[in-house]
Chains A and B, each alone.
Chain A
């Protein structure tokens, strides 16, 4: 067995040292596994990984999946061409994916045409999405009736619920009679059975919409029931609480209204409803003749808006000096930025609040997404650079010691040993006492097979030894070439990130300017309210003085 250890050791060393010259490509893997792997990445949303794995054959045979990968990684330029080419081919076409891509491209007519080609062999999940896309397309094209018809097959699930919600919003926008919209919202809510985060968020939006519709329809008592159902940790909470206060105010319940508005104050001021709540509180106090509380509330509102204006000024200066990437994206250690990262009254940082505010703008959102994608590729380059350095070091080491190690391996001696071993096994096999059961117990067949394997390996090994040094040198050269390519890619990435930073800074600064204007208006409203209250107090004091001068109460 010593011989075996020695031989397998030599083989393993040489395998690792010389590395197989055979290039690993997807073709060595069974096609079923390879395609499954690509699809796993694609369907998990890892479009970049999927695109990296796709070879030319795959792209040719699965053009729609290739297009979906490109679309997912926001390389839209070639997508339409690939889809059109696929449509003209006589291959089996994935019409569902085409429908989805066209929908994302805002090509509703093409999307509907693609979905129309689908037969009834969809899974339940696909059917729900199918109904959602088609209903939304009909809404966008202005046919709510067709959208409602699409949703007639009660499919259930969150996708259907979204579709009904969108339909309800379309009804609310175009019709004076809100009852159709409210009924549609009720249907949307009935499909939400689970308590996932997504379903809870949609439920909150449905309740907020229903409450708003009732409030607009002069039914504040009914509106309150819906606003109360909105979860306090939801994205819709601040709006719901503010409108709840408005509903109470309309019902004449000033106390409940101010309570509702007070609870809105814990949410970020950047939300319109929070600013409104700050102004509504003193207004309600004034309405209830609580002049001193109104004065205090106006003072508080004024100070809060002024603070926010100061914050905006600081952020503007930071943006001007450092740009969006350093201020909003990177882990920055810029002096003077600590306050921007510090915890606020809400469980979030000021930076996160502002970030959320900016990404509500579609163009800014898309650019942030693009920035994240480019940064991800930058990280991948850093990763590969490190990997290549490690490989290069190891290969150089192997290359240096390769010839010494080959000398240790004596071909003739190994050949003799194998031959000797074969003779001994054959002799043993032909022994007079060797029965079939004993042969099986001793594993004679396996031993003979392994000798045959050893012989063939020895032949292969000789070839590898001959090429070994050259292969190592080739691989070192390959690394050098790849490193060069990485260097060039890094330069391009940096240049693009700079351009993106410039574009984003301009857009974000403008958004900040808009916010400043709105905050300024709020501040002015608070200040004017304050003056109004002071005037009222002054007038009442004057009246009181005059009354006292009359001497009626003396």
Chain B
């Protein structure tokens, strides 16, 4: 690039001219380039890795202690969401109502939708529930084929017994109408 070359030439020509203020600043800065780059202590990485492993284990202990305490198996209800692979559905958000009360809501990020489409299952709600008959309502908002927005509400009646209850919501797309399909599976 000629302009760069010209600029360098002018700089070289002018570099011989002494400038007081510049000299002062140079004195202030010292010889920056002469100073050797600091050597990074690699042992910190090893130490961090060991600590991270310990913290994962501790978090695991704490996580299960909390679950045991707050959601014992005989009162536990967990609601899961899964999405069929290879479809055009993009869920924007969901709302979960248990016996007409909102208990959970979630707004999805792009990577989470991608994870769901690759076979990931999200636990959207975990709570404690008394035995007996209950209603679960799930509201879905999202985009389907041809970027068409949809809003659907699906309900299920279920009976909670003296054991943990797992309900999986499975969302897929109709091959013929490309409409979203919703199915509940009780475990």
Which residues of A approach B to under 8 Å, CB–CB?
8, 12, 15-16, 19-20, 22-25, 28-30, 32-33, 36-37, 39-45, 48, 51-53, 73-77, 123, 215-216, 246, 249-250, 279-280, 283, 306, 309, 313, 363, 367, 370, 373-374, 377, 380-381, 384, 387-388, 391, 453, 457, 475, 478-479, 482, 485-486, 489, 492-493, 496, 499-500, 503, 506-507, 509-510, 513-514, 516-517, 520, 523-525, 527-529, 531-532
User: Which of chain A's residues has its CB closest to B6's CB?
Assistant: A283
Asked whether B25 lies within 8 Å of A520 as measured between CB atoms, the reply is: yes
Cα distance A486–B11 when bound, in Å?
60
User: What's the least CB distance linking A357 to chain B, in Å?
Assistant: 16
Measured CA separation A74–B53 after assembly (Å): 10
Residues of chain B within 8 A of A457, CB atoms compared: 162
What is the size, in residues, of chain B's interface with A at 8 Å between Cβ atoms? 81
B35 at interface, CB cutoff 8 A? yes
CA distance A384 to B59 in the complex (A): 8
Q: Which residue of A lies closest to B115 (CB)?
A: A43
Measured in the bound complex, the distance between the Cα atoms of B74 and A19 in whole Å is 10
Q: Do A23 and B118 contact each other (CB < 8 Å), given the known contacts A33-B187, A52-B59? A: no
A51 CA to B85 CA in the complex, in Å? 24
Q: Which residue of A lies closest to B122 (CB)?
A: A40
If A51-B56, A457-B162 touch, whether A37 touches B35 (CB-CB below 8 Å) is no
Q: B75 contacts which of A15, A496, A509 (Cβ < 8 Å)?
A: A15
Q: Which residues of A contact B47 (CB under 8 A)?
A: 496, 499
Contact partner of B17 among A37, A51, A509, A531, CB < 8 A? A531
The interface residues of chain A lying within 8 Å CB-to-CB of B153 are none
List, in ascending order, chain B residues with CB within 8 A of A20's CB. Answer: 68, 72-75
User: Is A496's CB under 8 angstroms from B51's CB?
Assistant: yes
B107 at interface, CB cutoff 8 A: no
Q: How far is the CB of A250 from chain B (nearest CB, A)?
A: 6
User: Are B22 and A527 in touch, CB under 8 angstroms?
Assistant: yes
- A77 engages B15 (CB within 8 Å): no
Output the least CB separation between A360 and chain B (Å): 15
CB pair B166–A503 under 8 Å, yes or no, is no
5 nearest A-B pairs in the assembled complex, by CB-CB distance:
A36-B121, A40-B120, A20-B72, A528-B14, A43-B115
Give chain A residues whose Cβ lies under 8 Å from the Cβ of B116.
40
B120–A43 touching, CB < 8 Å: yes
Interface hub of B47, B49, B75, B187 (most chain A Cβ within 10 A) = B49
Evaluate whether A517 and B187 lie within 8 angstroms (CB atoms) in the complex, with A36-B80, A44-B115, A531-B14 already known. Answer: no
- Contacting residues of chain B (51-104) with chain A, CB-CB under 8 angstroms: 51-56, 58-69, 71-76, 78, 80, 82, 85-86
Interface centre among B28, B69, B112 (most CB of A within 10 A): B69
Q: Residue B177 at the A interface, CB < 8 A?
A: no
> Is B121 a contact of A33 with CB atoms below 8 Å?
yes
| Residue among B6, B56, B187 with the highest chain A CB neighbour number at 10 A | B56
Cβ of A516 and Cβ of B72 under 8 Å apart? no
B71 engages A374 (CB within 8 Å):
no
Known A-B contacts A22-B73, A517-B32; the reply to A524 vs B68 at CB < 8 A is no
Q: How far is the CB of A518 from chain B (nearest CB, A)?
A: 9
Task: Report B-chain residues with C-beta under 8 Å of the C-beta of A367.
Answer: 40
Complex: A32 Cα to B63 Cα, angstroms: 20
B143 at the interface (CB under 8 A from A): no
Q: How far is the CA of A437 from the CA of B118 in the complex (A)?
A: 50
Which residues of B are found within 8 Å of A506, using beta-carbon distances? Answer: 38, 40
Whether A52 touches B122, Cβ cut-off 8 Å, given contacts A496-B44, A524-B19, is no
CB distance from A257 to the nearest CB of B (A): 9
Q: Closest B-chain residue to A395, C-beta based?
A: B69
Cβ–Cβ < 8 Å partners of A29 in chain B: 78, 164, 166
Report the nearest A residue to B61, measured CB to CB: A482
Tell me whether B119 is interfacial, beta carbon within 8 Å: yes
Q: Are B72 and A24 in contact (CB under 8 A)?
A: yes
Given the known inter-chain contacts A39-B118, A75-B53, A516-B32, please indicate yes or no for A531 contacting B44, CB distance below 8 A.
Answer: no
Q: A370-B48, A493-B55, A516-B32 are in contact. List 12 more A-B contacts (CB 8 A).
A: A19-B68, A24-B64, A24-B68, A24-B73, A29-B164, A33-B166, A39-B121, A42-B115, A43-B115, A48-B56, A52-B59, A75-B53
Asked whether A475 lies within 8 Å of B69 as measured between CB atoms, the reply is yes
Contact status B62-A482, CB under 8 Å: yes
Of B28, B55, B123, B166, which contacts A313 at CB under 8 A? Answer: B28
| Contact of A489 with B54 in the complex, beta carbons under 8 Å | yes
Report whether A280 and B162 are in contact in the complex, using a CB–CB cutoff of 8 Å: no
Query: Does the CB pair A485–B58 fall under 8 Å?
Result: yes
